[in-house]
Amino acid sequence: MTVGEIIKNLEAMVITKFLPDETEIDWACATDLMSEVLYYSRDSSVLITGLTKQQAIRTADIADIRVVVFTRGKEPDTPTIELANEKEITLLITPFSMFTACGILYERGLRCCPE
Amino acid sequence: MKGGSGAVLNKSMEKNYEGSFHIVGGDFSRAGEASTELKSILQSLGIEKEIVRRASIATFEAEMNIIIYATAGILRYVITPEEIRIIAEDMGPGIEDIELAMQEGYSTAPEWVREMGWGSGMGLPNMKKNSDEFYIDSVVGEGTRVEMVIRRQIFSEGRSNDH
Ligand SMILES: Nc1ncnc2c1ncn2[C@@H]1O[C@H](COP(=O)(O)OP(=O)(O)OP(=O)(O)O)[C@@H](O)[C@H]1O
Ligand SMILES: [Mg+2]
């Protein structure tokens, strides 16, 4: 699934400058626990999280994750957005809950990072 | 936090590169900066992507543990053509039962740490998983020392798990 398709499917708002519309995303990782992201994620995955903090961006960057989705319309603070811009990470906000966002992407064929 | 020898880098990697970062306990505002800087040093040396990822993840977990549990610590790195060695040493409470701490899911992290997205008890297991060699040593009331080696050569047999 491309980043553009994720944006469309999740009715998401893009809040960072960097927009790699055509980039392929192979896997999804959905959690609020950063060590879980670091343990289970693969590169070229999307992180879906309710943790709208700088920690989520730092973690994504370390794990080579380029797209982060914040659920339930939760907006991060400015330093978090600035950090994402600096790291060229695309930050999206979806109005959907974590459960629904995952359900939508699963239905469209995206799967959990394999263990 | 102090940057290491990352300023003058040379892609040919004939020499060794060493440096260190000072980590202040409790300072979440800068959490991850040291590991992020080490990651860019590794990238600028042209080290293979998957090796950089493993080293960065292991370092980040070590950095977070210093920030969460210790008063202060130091994160040292030595990069040679063969390996990346990371040593995380802190002044802190130490770990009473290392075997227990190494178990997936074991955590003593307080609520405020969980609210920041940490404390699932996966850090130490993940450091071990991403390292080719992993050593941990701790003295209660003094501190903890973690040493990790990530080899830069990928052998076909895969990583060893015998540590
Ligand atoms: N540097 C340290 N000093 C003192 N105690 C530590 C240190 N590192 C780990 N511990 C102890 O070991 C436990 C397990 O550590 P580990 O990194 O695996 O998980 P965590 O930090 O609790 O959660 P996570 O890493 O998933 O965010 C910690 O909860 C803590 O009790
Ligand atoms: Mg930890």
DSSP per-residue codes, B6-18: -SS--TT--S-EE
* Assigned domain for B6 exists: no
Q: What is the CATH number of the domain that holds B141?
A: 3.30.565.10
Contacting residues for B8 by C-beta, under 8 A, at least 6 apart: none
CA distance B32 to chain A (A): 6
* Assigned domain for B131 exists: yes
* pLDDT value of residue B153: 83
Cα–Cα distances in Å, from B128 out to B26, B90, B161? 24, 18, 9
Give this complex's ipTM: 0.93
- Average confidence (pLDDT) over B30-52: 96
pLDDT tens, B64-74?
999 999 999 99
The confidence band for B155, taking pLDDT boundaries of 50, 70 and 90, is: low
* pLDDT value of residue B6: 44
Query: Per-residue DSSP letters for B79-103?
Result: E-SSEEEEEEEEES---S-HHHHTS
The confidence band for A87, taking pLDDT boundaries of 50, 70 and 90, is: very high
Q: Domain total for chain B?
A: 1
The second-level CATH assignment, the architecture, of A3-112 is 3-Layer(aba) Sandwich (3.40)
The separation between CA A78 and the C-alpha centre of its own chain, rounded to angstroms, equals 17
* Assigned domain for B2 exists: no
* Assigned domain for B159 exists: no
* Assigned domain for B27 exists: yes
- Measured between its terminal Cα atoms, the distance across chain A in Å is 20
- Identify the CA nearest to B75 among candidates B161, B163, B146: B146
> Residue B68 C-alpha to ligand 1 middle, in angstroms?
8
* Assigned domain for B12 exists: no
Could you give the CA distance from residue B29 to residue A55 in angstroms, rounded to a whole number? 9
pLDDT tens, B120-147?
999 999 999 999 999 999 999 999 999 9
- Token pair 């995303």 in the structure block, residue: A25
Question: Which is the closest atom of ligand 1 to the Cα of B118?
Answer: 27
* Assigned domain for B161 exists: no
> Residue B66 C-alpha to ligand 2 middle, in angstroms?
8
CA distance B118 to chain A (A): 6
- Token pair 């939760």 in the structure block, residue: A74
Provide the sign of the torsion angle of the four alpha carbons B66, B163, B42, B82, taken in this order: positive
Question: β-strands B83-91, A67-70: how paired?
Answer: unpaired
Q: Which residues span the domain enclosing B55?
A: 18-151
Q: Which of A32, A35, A115 to mutate to test the interface with B (most CBs of B within 10 A)?
A: A35
* Assigned domain for B57 exists: yes
The separation between CA A104 and the C-alpha centre of its own chain, rounded to angstroms, equals 14
